[in-house]
Amino acid sequence: MIATKIIPDFSAPVHIDQVGIEERASRFTKRSIKNESKINGLKLALNMIDLTTLEGKDTQGKVKQLCYKALHLHDTYPGLPTVAAICVYPSMVKTAKIALRDSGVKVASVATAFPSGQSTRDIKIRDTKYAVQNGADEVDMVISRGKFLEGEYNFIFDEIAAIKEACGEARLKVILETGELVTYDKVRKASDIAMYAGADFIKTSTGKISPAATMPVTLVMLEAIRDFYYKTGKKIAMKPAGGISKSKLALHYLVMLNEVLGEDWLNNEWFRFGASSLANDILMQLMKQKTGVYQSADYFSID
């Protein structure tokens, strides 16, 4: 007997307790973290970062410099881990792949008409295949928010499933662009659709829309991952992106991650930060812990 895949009725209403979510997210920021745990947490957060350059003025030289930074963080502080990945446009994937060699740092590529998502499915699939054929280990797609807001949930499901198929062996991060979804109810519904359609990660934002990642929105998505895991036994990864530039905030996110999903998610296979500026702040904080004084931001490369 062939088992059938059970897919929920996405037209059913979703109700998230806004007050409860915001109060619980706030409590995670009040946890006391001891010094040794803080240092370990900062190193863990660094290892979870996707260093990113997604500008129209990107050049091969800029991408190579970003890759160099990813591979030489220990020059500033010996013994540091690498970041998790470098994220670039499909046209820069091959450049990043060559620069990173066999370092273990992944190459991620945005696709599917990033950041708007306003294109045809055929073009989005070709965009994805181009990135993978050039060596992308991971693909960050954007959902069609207009279709979602029109209630075309089956369209969103089918689109994600098609992009997942086009990814082949590459892992798929599905960007919800939560700042445009507005409500926690819609964020939860979009999270559920993405996971059932085959997402390997669910991701908050492109970083091009404000607000980007917030702790309450991330909490809604973490709880969706937890519930999906209880129902299916399948682990889904999480990536908050945009607006996480300070080490203290990153540690708050890790506390929340640990309390909602547990230690199994406390690694870069299952959690990422889309926050390039966070890397420099972590380096500054670690140097402060080591030397007792803050170094100027001028001592750290921007990219």
Per the listing, tokens 């997942």 go with 164
* 64 part of the active site: no
Helix (H, G, I), strand (E, B) or coil at 202: strand
Question: H or E element: which one contains 157?
Answer: helix 153-167
* 203 part of the active site: yes
Backbone angles phi, psi at 170, to 5 degrees: -70, 145
Backbone angles phi, psi at 174, to 5 degrees: -105, 115
| Catalytic residue selected from 94, 192, 239, 281 | 239
* 140 part of the active site: yes
| Catalytic residue selected from 140, 192, 200, 281 | 140
| Catalytic residue selected from 69, 97, 124, 203 | 203
Backbone angles phi, psi at 157, to 5 degrees: -60, -50
Give the C-alpha separation, 49 to 47, whole Å: 6
Q: Which of 82, 128, 119 is nearest to 103 (CA)?
A: 82
The answer to whether 216 and 283 are in contact (CB under 8 A) is no
Give the C-alpha separation, 257 to 265, whole Å: 7
- 213-229 burial code (b ≥16 CB/10 A, e <16): bbbbbbbbbbbbbeebb
Give the list of residues 6+ apart from residue 190 with CB closer than 8 angstroms, or none.
143, 148, 156, 176, 178, 181
Question: What are the residue numbers of the active site?
Answer: 140, 203, 239
